[in-house]
């Protein structure tokens, strides 16, 4: 329809339409209704909250939330449904010190605009005075009356989106919607362990938590005691924040961040920043595509947290992001390092091992069948022994630069297997199997990192040597020269794809062998464009990998013992720089069970 020339085409929308449009932001799906109503109950000081869901095959038909919180007077009960009506703030300044989950005054108005609602409420300590019942359809009040009721509030929501068919069409299957509700409830239960929650679905109890002051109880309730076995606590504070919660051992990881739960000031939120900081705190303990299970509750100075950035408040904006992230990373690192993280033989650590975590070019381990004598005992070769000796002596020189109390028990080597594994006996009476290459790689890695903090990490070669590359490799290498320089490699571009190697990192000192340097450069050049790991980290890892004793080189018993002794000096002796385990233990009980001696 073409309007007449000069006629006005703009008009102001009526309130009912405005409310429906606004509702679209807050109430996306049934889970949003549950979230908003449960949050209201928590804000009302409830200690017991009941969630009842009913569903047909196609959709969730009824949602009822009942609480024993403060309740509302008849006047407030009506006001509560007016858009922007709230008891939680009076002005924008109050957001600086906000302690409640709600403050926008939108939820009840939005929910009522797109459904049929019955509210029954009665204030605390109101004795025999009747409660209030309000019936609303599509935002219009149909009925208010007095009614006998317990203290607290109950809100029944039916026919969600009955008057917004476009929204209704986008609802997913009942199971998907239920899963969403479960996710919301897990966050709510964990962030408010002081409340007990009961969730019913078609009259069947689905989820129950008891009131508890210990979040670990709630975690056990929600995820099971098996998960709890793999958790350890984290506790730290700095002037603007306290950090409390639980982290999973590297034996329990996931391929995504879905089990990294973050609560800020009692609010369950999603924060890639914080997830990233937690992951960074684990450092090389985790493969880069694995994520820990974490439950973190942060109390942050409310002035640093802007809660008003998202209509459903799923995200918050943090001031001093970097300091917060750094503090979290450090807290996680400290907590991780205080743990005994040697995986037991029966733990699901295989989940980690079997991951394709290898970021370097190392070939998959293969048993050197030809080297193994028929008896199964491997012979060491003379050349191999000398080479390993050089590599070992190099790291020995540097071990103990800053001695730390060992995180591993004392280990006596009792043998080796296939040139790959070292077998040992701990002073605590356990059998341990150590991956020879991974262990030495870890030792070297830490030394490279430590050396970089010092001054003299580069040493000149007595006789510089020439490296020749393909044109493509040469151009990659040219870009890498500054980063290599930082790590102690001095390479001069000679033109025509030729480079002169003048100096190498001190940690490679005794290995002045062109072969290793050539390998390192090849690895770096072929890896250059891949992965999120920065150049320095990658160079460090490649040096560690190439400088370490090789898998498949049979070491003497004495050499094995030296590797173990050096590993015991490592800050993190548990994994190689790529996150694979260096050591696995078999207790007597484990072995007895395997041999069915129990």
434 backbone dihedrals φ, ψ, rounded to 5°: -120, 135
Binding mask 41-80 for ligand ADP (x = CB under 6 A): x--x----------------------x-xxxx-------x
> Of 110 and 395, which CB lies nearer to ligand ADP in the complex structure?
110
Q: Is 153 in the site for Mg ion (CB under 5 A)?
A: no
Partner in contact with 103, chosen from Mg ion, ligand ADP, none, beta carbon below 5 to 8 Å by kind: ligand ADP
> Binding residue for ligand ADP (CB under 6 A) from 107, 305, 480, 551?
107
Minimum separation from the CB atom of position 113 to ligand ADP (A): 11
Binding mask 310-349 for ligand ADP (x = CB under 6 A): ----------------------------------------
Rg (CA), the chain: 31
Dihedral sign (CA 221, 226, 230, 232): positive
Segment near Mg ion (CB under 5 A); pick from 3-11, 106-114, 194-202, 238-246: 106-114
> Of 269 and 467, which CB lies nearer to Mg ion in the complex structure?
269
| Positions 123 through 142 that interact with ligand ADP (CB under 6 A) | none
Q: Is 103 in the site for ligand ADP (CB under 6 A)?
A: yes
DSSP-derived secondary structure for 114-162: TSEEEEEEE-TT-TTS-EEEEEEETTEEEEEEEE---SEEEEEEESTTT
Q: Is 104 in the site for ligand ADP (CB under 6 A)?
A: yes
For residue 108, how far is the Cα from the chain centroid?
A: 34
Q: Measured between alpha carbons, how far is 282 from 272 in angstroms, rounded to an integer? A: 16
Q: Is 581 in the site for ligand ADP (CB under 6 A)?
A: no
Q: Is 107 in the site for Mg ion (CB under 5 A)?
A: yes
> Of 191 and 257, which CB lies nearer to Mg ion in the complex structure?
191
Segment near Mg ion (CB under 5 A); pick from 98-106, 260-268, 335-343, 428-436: 98-106
Q: Measured between alpha carbons, how far is 334 from 329 in angstroms, rounded to an integer? A: 9
Partner in contact with 67, chosen from ligand ADP, Mg ion, none, beta carbon below 5 to 8 Å by kind: ligand ADP
Segment near ligand ADP (CB under 6 A); pick from 40-48, 224-232, 385-393, 403-411: 40-48
Q: Would you call 238 helix, strand, or coil by DSSP?
A: strand
Minimum separation from the CB atom of position 157 to ligand ADP (A): 12
Dihedral sign (CA 201, 205, 209, 210): positive
> Binding residue for ligand ADP (CB under 6 A) from 32, 86, 284, 395?
86
Segment near ligand ADP (CB under 6 A); pick from 106-114, 304-312, 347-355, 457-465: 106-114
Binding mask 145-174 for ligand ADP (x = CB under 6 A): --------x---------------------
> Binding residue for Mg ion (CB under 5 A) from 30, 69, 83, 102?
102
Q: Is 581 in the site for Mg ion (CB under 5 A)?
A: no
| Positions 30 through 89 that interact with Mg ion (CB under 5 A) | 40
> 320, 295, 294, 314: which is closest to 238 by C-alpha?
320
Task: Find the residue with minimal CB distance to ligand ADP.
Answer: 102
Report how far apart, in Å, the C-alpha atoms of 326 and of each of 16, 112, 237, 242, 321 are. Answer: 47, 43, 12, 13, 8
Q: Measured between alpha carbons, how far is 443 from 507 in angstroms, rounded to an integer? A: 11
DSSP-derived secondary structure for 267-305: EEE--HHHHHHHHHHHGGGS-TT-EE-EEEEEEE-GGGE
Pinpoint the alpha helices (H) of 198-290.
215-223, 225-229, 272-282
Asked if 140 and 112 touch (Cβ cutoff 8 Å), the reply is no
Q: Is 105 in the site for ligand ADP (CB under 6 A)?
A: yes
Minimum separation from the CB atom of position 47 to ligand ADP (A): 13
Report how far apart, in Å, the C-alpha atoms of 328 and of each of 343, 553, 574, 577 are. Answer: 25, 41, 22, 21
Q: Is 105 in the site for Mg ion (CB under 5 A)?
A: no
Q: Is 98 in the site for ligand ADP (CB under 6 A)?
A: no
> 395, 438, 383: which is closest to 553 by C-alpha?
383
Q: Measured between alpha carbons, how far is 500 from 464 in angstroms, rounded to an integer? A: 7
Helix 382-398 / helix 557-568 crossing angle, nearest 10 deg: 20
Exposed / middle / buried, residue 431 (Cβ in 10 Å: 0-12, 13-18, 19+): middle
Residue ranges that bind Mg ion, judged by CB under 5 A = 40, 102, 107
Residue ranges that bind ligand ADP, judged by CB under 6 A = 36, 40-41, 44, 67, 69-72, 80, 85-88, 102-109, 153
């Amino acid at each position: 329809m073409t309007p007449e020339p000069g006629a006005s085409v703009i008009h102001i929308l009526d309130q009912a339409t405005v409310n429906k449009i606004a509702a679209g932001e807050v109430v996306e799906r049934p889970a949003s209704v549950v979230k908003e109503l449960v949050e209201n109950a928590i804000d009302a000081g409830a200690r017991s909250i009941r969630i009842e869901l009913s569903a047909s095959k196609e959709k969730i038909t009824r949602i009822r939330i009942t609480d024993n919180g403060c309740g509302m007077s008849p006047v407030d009960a009506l006001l509560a449904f007016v858009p922007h009506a709230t008891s939680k703030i009076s002005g924008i300044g109050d957001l600086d010190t906000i302690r409640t989950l709600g403050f926008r005054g939108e939820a009840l108005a939005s929910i009522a605009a797109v459904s049929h609602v019955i509210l029954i409420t009665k204030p605390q300590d109101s004795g025999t005075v009747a409660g209030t019942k309000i019936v609303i359809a599509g935002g219009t009040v149909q009925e208010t009356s007095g009614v006998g009721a317990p203290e607290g509030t109950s809100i029944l929501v039916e026919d969600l989106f009955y008057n917004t068919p476009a929204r209704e069409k986008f609802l997913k299957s009942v199971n998907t919607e239920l899963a969403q509700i479960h996710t919301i409830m897990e966050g709510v239960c964990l962030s408010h362990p002081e409340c007990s929650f009961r969730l019913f679905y078609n009259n069947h109890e689905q989820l129950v938590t008891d009131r508890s002051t210990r979040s670990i109880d709630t975690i056990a309730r929600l995820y099971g005691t098996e998960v709890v076995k793999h958790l350890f606590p984290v506790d730290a504070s700095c002037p603007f924040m306290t950090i409390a919660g639980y982290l999973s051992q590297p034996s329990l990881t996931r391929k995504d961040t879905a089990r990294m739960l973050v609560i800020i000031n009692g609010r369950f939120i999603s924060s890639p920043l914080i997830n990233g900081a937690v992951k960074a705190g684990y450092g090389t303990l985790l493969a880069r595509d694995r994520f820990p299970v974490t439950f973190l509750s942060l109390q942050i100075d409310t002035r640093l947290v802007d809660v008003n950035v998202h209509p459903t408040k799923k995200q918050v904006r943090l001031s001093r992001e970097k300091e917060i992230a750094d503090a979290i990373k450090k807290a996680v690192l400290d907590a991780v390092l205080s743990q005994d993280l040697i995986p037991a033989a029966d733990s699901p650590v295989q989940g980690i091992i079997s991951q394709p975590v290898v970021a370097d070019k190392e070939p998959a381990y293969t048993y050197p069948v030809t080297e193994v004598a028929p008896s199964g005992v491997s012979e060491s070769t003379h050349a191999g022994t000398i080479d390993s000796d050089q590599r070992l002596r190099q790291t020995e020189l540097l071990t103990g630069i800053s001695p730390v109390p060992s995180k591993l028990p004392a280990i006596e080597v009792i043998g080796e297997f296939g040139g790959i594994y070292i077998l040992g006996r701990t002073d605590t009476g356990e059998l341990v199997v150590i991956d020879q290459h991974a262990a030495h790689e870890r030792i070297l890695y830490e030394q490279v990192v430590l050396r970089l903090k010092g001054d003299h990490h580069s040493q000149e070669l007595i006789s510089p040597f020439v490296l020749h590359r393909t044109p493509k490799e040469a151009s990659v290498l040219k870009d890498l020269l500054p980063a290599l320089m930082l790590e102690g490699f001095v390479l001069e571009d000679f033109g025509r794809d030729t480079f002169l190697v003048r100096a190498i990192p001190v940690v490679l000192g005794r290995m002045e062998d062109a072969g290793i340097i050539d390998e390192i450069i090849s690895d770096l050049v072929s890896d250059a464009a891949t992965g999120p790991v920065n150049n320095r980290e990658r160079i460090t890892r490649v040096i560690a990998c190439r400088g370490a004793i090789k898998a498949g080189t049979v070491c003497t018993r004495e050499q094995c013992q030296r590797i173990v002794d050096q590993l015991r000096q490592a800050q993190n002796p548990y994994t190689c720089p790529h996150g694979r385990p260096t050591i696995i233990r078999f207790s007597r009980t484990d072995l007895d069970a395997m041999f069915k001696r129990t």
